[in-house]
Amino acid sequence: METVKLAGRVAIVTGGGRGIGRAIALGLASAGANVVITAARNPREASEVAQSAREALGRECLLAVAADVTREADCVRVVDTALERYGAVHILVNNAARGMRFVDERFLDRPAKFWQAASGAWRMIVETNVDGPFLMARAVVPHLLAQRWGRLINISINYETMGRAGFSPYGPSKAALEAATAGWARELDGTGVTVNALLPGGITDTAMVPDTAPEEVRRTMLDPAIMVAPVRWLCSADADAISGQRMVANKWDPSLPANEAARRALGPLPWT
């Protein structure tokens, strides 16, 4: 029942080469948007996503850029590339993230205590998951303010994971991002630019889940495609008044009209 159309919109999706980022990027492109995606470690994957969009949609609507969101110059370059290629930027989806595999590949069955995490891995995760969204938002927001319309969407996780034993620093980094989402929404109130959090609602089938994950975990993993309908709605005119909220994708009921499905999937951020 979804009818969201995003023709004329330009989106940046960080970490768009795989998993949730890939699903969101292709979903926005199929709704008519032009999309720039970033990849820090696997630019070939991002190029393959661009090729997939071109073959499926028959137009040059998705551009892959090698960029690391922890580097300020890269973030500025991504925004400049979107402006040069497509003439505008309207939407930023802060999806790029690093998870617990950088602390221990077997974090699911032998979770490390926070004091056992290597300091380098800790910094890498926090820099990607907290500093990266800030640097990207900092680069893009002046353009959104100038046109008095824009969307910032920060990809988050369940509250249970934020405080789960053995999930530091990944959980706390996403808690920080949600707190930032609430603060940014207040600071942008009345500007036409909205800021919201979007999360799958459970363990999702992405590269963050190691091959050693138990079979009972794998059986319950969510398909990243569940993020597509919610993110399209958040980018639509129907969400112009929605800011400082969190949307849980697995609460979206695709059998309902989009506005009703959104109402059921939305809730306040705890810091609002």
Question: Which residues are known to be catalytic?
Answer: 170
Provide the b/e sequence for 214-249 (b: ≥16 CB within 10 Å). Answer: eeeeeeeebebebbbbbbbbbbbeebeebbbbbbbb
CA angle 179, 183, 189 (to 5 degrees): 145
Please report, in angstroms and rounded to a whole number, the separation of the first and last CA atoms in the chain.
31
User: Can you tell me the distance from the alpha carbon of 139 to that of 179, in angstroms, rounded to the nearest whole number?
Assistant: 20
Element holding 39 (H helix, E strand): strand 34-39
Which candidate, 54, 35, 60, places its Cα nearest to that of 228? 35
Which candidate, 185, 6, 193, 197, places its Cα nearest to that of 93? 197
Contact 100, 121 (CB under 8 A): no
Q: What phi, psi does 96 have (nearest 5°)?
A: -55, 130
Return the biggest CA–CA distance within the chain: 51
DSSP class of residue 33? -
